Amino acid sequence: MPTVLITGASRGLGLEFARQYAADGWRVIATCRNPAGARELAGLGGGVDVHALDVTDHGRIQALAKTLKRDAIDVLINGAGIYGPRPAPLGGVNYAAWAEVLRVNAMAPLTVSEGFDDHVARSDLKRIVTITSRMGSIADNDSGGSYIYRSSKAALNAVMKSLSVDLRPRGITVVVIHPGWVKTDMGGPSALIDPEESVSAMRKVIAGLTMEDSGRFFNYDGPEIPW
C-alpha cells in the first residue's frame, strides 16, 4: 500500500487530496494545525491518520518525523499555505504580514521536506510535490500587484528548484504544481474549477512523474509553466 503525507489537510485542496487518495486505497498521513476542529478530515475514516502539525514549528516537524521514522512516504505533498492580506498594492503592503506569509509559503515547505526526505528516499515512488501558484511565475506576471503572495510563491519555486538538484542523487523527484483557480476559501466562489477536478488532474500529473520531470513547474492538468 503506497503512503502519502499531506500538509494543510483540514480543508480545501489538502482535504480533497486526502479524500481521493484514501478512496483509492492509499495510506494517508494527514496533518493540520487543529485536528480537533477538522471534522471533515476526521470523517474520512480509518485509512487516514491525522496528526497535529504547524508547518512553521520546526520542533513539531522533527517530532512527527521521529514518530513516523519507520514509515516510507511515497508522495509528500506540501499543501499548507496562506494568501496574506488583500489587497497588497503598491503603497499598501503590510510588511509584518509579508514576513509571515514567506515563513508559511516558502520556508515551511523546505523544513517539512528536510524533515521527511529520508522517509521519501526509502519509498518506492520517491516524490515531493509542492502546491504553488502561477502567480509565482515571473515570466507570467503582466498584471503587477499582489506583492506579498506573488513573492512568496516565487521564493517557493526557487526553493523547490534547488531542492530538486540537491535530492536528485537520492532518486527523489521534486516538482511544483499550480492547482488552477479553485473554489476554495483562498480561491473564492468566482474561481473556475472545484477542488475535485483540480486534485483529480494533479494526481494524474503526480502519478506520471519521472526523474526527468524533477525541478519542473506544472499546471494542474499537465502543461509546463514558465518560471
Indicate which residues carry an active-site annotation.
133, 149, 153
Q: Name 164's Cβ contacts closer than 8 Å, sequence gap at least 6.
A: 173, 174, 175, 214, 215
Nearest-Å Rg of the Cα atoms of the chain is: 16
Residue 130 has φ and ψ, to the nearest 5°, of -120, 130
Query: What angle do the packed helices 108-121 and 147-167 form, to 10 degrees?
Result: 30
Q: How far apart are CA 112 and CA 104, in angstroms?
A: 11
Q: Is 22 left (phi over 0), alpha (psi -120 to 50) or beta?
A: alpha
Q: Name 114's Cβ contacts closer than 8 Å, sequence gap at least 6.
A: none
Q: Name 143's Cβ contacts closer than 8 Å, sequence gap at least 6.
A: none
Q: How far apart are CA 71 and CA 110, in angstroms?
A: 20
